[in-house]
Amino acid sequence: MENVFEILKDLPKPGDYVLLTVAKGSAAGEKAILAEKKIIWESKENGFFSAHFSEAGDLKKCGLYEIREQQVFCDIIGGQEHLVICGGGHVSVPVIKIGIMLGWKVTVLEDRPQFADHARNAGATEVICQPFEDALDQIEGDKDTYFVVLTRGHRYDQVCLEKIVGKEHAYIGMIGSRRRSAMVKQNLIEKGCSQEVIGEIKSPIGLNIGAETPEEIGVAIMAEIIEVKNQNKRVCGYPKDLLEAILDIVHPGKKMLATIITRKGSAPRNVGSKMLILEDGSCVGTIGGGCMEAEVLRKARVMMHENNTGLKTEYVDMTGDDAEEEGMVCGGTIEVLLEPLWN
Q: Domain of 131: which CATH number? A: 3.40.50.720
Q: Residue 249 carries which side chain, given as an amino acid letter? A: I
Number of domains within the chain: 3
Residue that is last in its domain, among 42, 77, 112: 77
- Which residues make Cβ contacts (< 8 Å) with residue 244, sequence separation at least 6? none
- In this structure, the answer to whether residues 216 and 114 fall within a common structural domain is yes
Q: Which residues of 277-310 are buried (b: 16+ CB within 10 A; e: fewer)?
A: bbeeeebbbebbebbbbebbbebbbebbeeeeee
Q: How far apart are CA 95 and CA 16, in angstroms?
A: 27
The pLDDT value recorded for residue 15 is 63
Q: How far apart are CA 198 and CA 161, in angstroms?
A: 9
What is the pLDDT of the chain when averaged over all its residues?
A: 90
Which position has the higher pLDDT, 72 or 264? 72
- In this structure, the answer to whether residues 73 and 88 fall within a common structural domain is no
Q: Which domain holds residue 332?
A: 240-340
- In this structure, the answer to whether residues 226 and 102 fall within a common structural domain is yes
Residue 284's alpha-carbon distances to 34, 248, 265, 316, in angstroms, are: 26, 12, 25, 20
Residue that is last in its domain, among 17, 47, 77: 77
Q: Residue 295 carries which side chain, given as an amino acid letter? A: E
- In this structure, the answer to whether residues 283 and 219 fall within a common structural domain is no
- In this structure, the answer to whether residues 256 and 328 fall within a common structural domain is yes
- In this structure, the answer to whether residues 297 and 252 fall within a common structural domain is yes
Q: How far apart are CA 125 and CA 118, in angstroms?
A: 13
Whether cis (ω within 30° of 0) applies to the bond prior to 214 is no
- In this structure, the answer to whether residues 73 and 91 fall within a common structural domain is no
- In this structure, the answer to whether residues 158 and 54 fall within a common structural domain is no
Sign of the C-alpha dihedral computed for residues 129, 135, 141 and 147 taken in this order: positive
Q: Is the pLDDT of residue 248 over 70?
A: yes
The pLDDT value recorded for residue 323 is 52
In order, the DSSP letters of 213-273 are SHHHHHHHHHHHHHHHHHHHT--BSS-HHHHHHHH-SSS-S-EEEEEEEEEETT-SS-TT-
Q: How far apart are CA 236 and CA 156, in angstroms?
A: 32
- In this structure, the answer to whether residues 184 and 244 fall within a common structural domain is no
77-123 pLDDT, tens per residue?
Answer: 877 889 999 999 999 999 999 999 988 999 999 999 999 999 999 99
251-310 pLDDT, tens per residue?
Answer: 778 999 999 999 988 787 889 999 999 999 999 999 988 888 999 999 999 999 999 999
pTM of the model: 0.77
Residue 264's alpha-carbon distances to 67, 196, 238, 260, in angstroms, are: 22, 37, 22, 11
Residue that is last in its domain, among 12, 42, 77: 77
Q: How far apart are CA 72 and CA 66, in angstroms?
A: 6
- Which residues make Cβ contacts (< 8 Å) with residue 38, sequence separation at least 6? 57
The pLDDT value recorded for residue 175 is 94
